[in-house]
Amino acid sequence: MDNYSSSFFLGKHFSQFEPALKEKIAANASLREFSAGEQIMQTGQYFRSTVLIAEGRVKLYREGAAGEEFFIYYLEPGQACALSMICATRQETSQIMAKAIEPTIVLTIPIQLMDDLMREHKTWYYFVLDSYRSRFEELLTVVDNVIFKSMDERLEYYLKRQCEKLQTKQLRITHQEIANDLNSSREVISRLLKKLEQNRQISLFRNYIECHF
């Protein structure tokens, strides 16, 4: 990260921002680096900044009382944590968890700038609205999957979505990680994966799953 600046990542992933907005963010934002598996956000945490994803991938999820995880959605470069925008401006605490699932760099914008950015820069205003809309649609997808789809349908959708997001047919993910994301057990997921393999929709290997969707 030593060779990169806030301006570099703003130009790379946030091209929709007007030049004056990029300059203002670059002058006030900080870059933070997280290793794979490191927590970025915790339940009960207060936000002092808005978070933009510059590189890497972040998983947002709810954690149960017994430590179980329920996957919500991913954040990728060019996206923002809408929750950080809401909680930061209203001085509320987070109700979800977030962790980097690969080496990740984020841009943190002090909450003191939020009102000015919304008032002075239309591209930021529309970016915030679009972030809220996108995250709401993600949540609707989660609700639809939980309420209206069986576990095998949810698993198939999950695998397809992973392939699309990562732009690969080979997913290096464990059965337990999938079970955590779908709030199921490893035994159930392993059985359903075997069924998909028998239907020639996937191939199971020791360290990865190859999809044929």
Rounded to the nearest integer, the mean pLDDT of the chain is 89
Q: How far apart are CA 26 and CA 37, in angstroms?
A: 27
pLDDT recorded at residue 55? 95
194's CB contacts (< 8 A; 6+ apart) are 204
Q: Which domains does the chain have, with CATH numbers?
A: 6-147 (2.60.120.10), 150-211 (1.10.10.10)
pLDDT recorded at residue 103? 95
Provide the terminal-to-terminal Cα distance of the chain, rounded to the nearest Å.
Answer: 36
pLDDT recorded at residue 64? 77
> In this predicted structure, which of 32-36, 77-81, 149-153, 163-167 has the lowest mean pLDDT?
163-167
pLDDT recorded at residue 9? 96
Give the DSSP H/E element, type plus range, for residue 73: strand 69-75
Instruction: Summarize the confidence of residues 139-159 as an average pLDDT.
Output: 89
Which has the higher per-residue pLDDT, 162 or 67?
162
pLDDT recorded at residue 88? 63
pLDDT recorded at residue 200? 94
Instruction: Summarize the confidence of residues 131-140 as an average pLDDT.
Output: 89
Q: Check: pTM over 0.85? Answer yes or no.
A: no
